[in-house]
Amino acid sequence: MLHVVEALGGGVQSALIDHLRSVPEFDHVVLGPPRPGHATGEALVPPAKRWVPCPRRLDRAAYALHRIHRRLRPDVVHAHSSFAGVWVRASAIPTRRIVYTPHCYAFERVDLSPLVRRTVHGVERALAPRTGVVAAVSPREAELASDLSNGAARIVYVPNVARVADVSPAEPVERTVLGIGRFSAQKDPYFFADVAGRLRDEGWRFTWIGDGPDAYRSVLEANGVALPGWRTREQVLDTLASSAVYLHTAAWEGAPVTLLEAAALGRPIVGRRIPALASLGVEGLGDTPAEVADSIRALGDPDALRAASDASRQLDARHSGEAQRRGLLEAYAAVLGTAPDAEVRVP
């Protein structure tokens, strides 16, 4: 298996590592450039057999893909993210060998101009016939893949998962709210800061683990959000386990692993209403900072907090390692022309 990634680090890398762990019987090689300020591809080995760095520039990345494909002749080429999907599907790799996971189609980005979004949508539609299988991470992504291909695409739902078995149980600290991720237009710290500002005089304490441009930092700090910076994965999960509420304010998404980690830990989830989260069945969504603040405020009631924790556990049950393994085996079997393994085994 050759996995092609536009840039390592962040949520796509976490999702990729989960894919590799779910089907360890295959030999996995990863092609992709490191992303400055993020964990590099060394974190992939193991479970990958090898990580092959490549340049980020499109023409050089395409040449690196051509060289490694010619050398390895992999049975499956799995493209992760929209840009990697372009590299792979614009190459000479046979369509029947290609599996594509967008991890959120780029035309869903609301920070792009309408013209750019239409252009990206057109590129995806043009490349849809060059896709053997779409391995969609959410029902929303599966729906978009079907629309792009006019219903002709072979689509398999491969849910993202959260692996938190090594996290020690913790008693949540009352009225604490946690956000996680890089400060960016996608994660929308301004929305998060607006929510925090509405609740800071009511005893709620907000923290965001991550970092990014100073403009976002200033607004978050002005609204009382604690900013500890980046932490190790273990530290992030420990903090998440001890937080009363996980808040996800992204303006667009695929199937965010941090949100699924919160669900796996039984943390109540409140978020911004976007199509991806709604399709995953996330409860506690609001359209505006005021609505989201009201949802958090309601969790001050112990009964509401318990009900939200139960909803998170139900969300986690729908994103099991077994479900991901079944989806990947079905997607790869469609490419390989074999029947998927009947036995479900998760390492």
Read off the pLDDT band of 347 (50, 70, 90). very low
Domains and CATH numbers, the chain: 2-161+320-336 (3.40.50.2000), 173-317 (3.40.50.2000)
Q: Is 127 within 8 Å of 90 (Cβ atoms)?
A: yes
Give pLDDT tens digits for 14-45. 889 999 999 999 999 999 987 765 555 556 77
Give pLDDT tens digits for 257-274. 999 999 999 999 999 999
User: What mean pLDDT comes out for the span 97-105?
Assistant: 96
Q: Which range (183-187, 277-281, 319-323) has the least confidence?
A: 319-323
**DSSP state for residue 340 in the 8-state scheme:** P
How far is 130 from 153, CA to CA, in rounded Å?
10
User: What mean pLDDT comes out for the span 170-184?
Assistant: 94
- Percent of the chain having pLDDT more than 90? 79
Share the mean pLDDT of the chain: 91
Strand order in the sheet with 269-272: 226-229, 205-209, 173-180, 243-248, 269-272, 285-286
Q: Is 109 within 8 Å of 252 (Cβ atoms)?
A: yes
pLDDT for res 337: 85
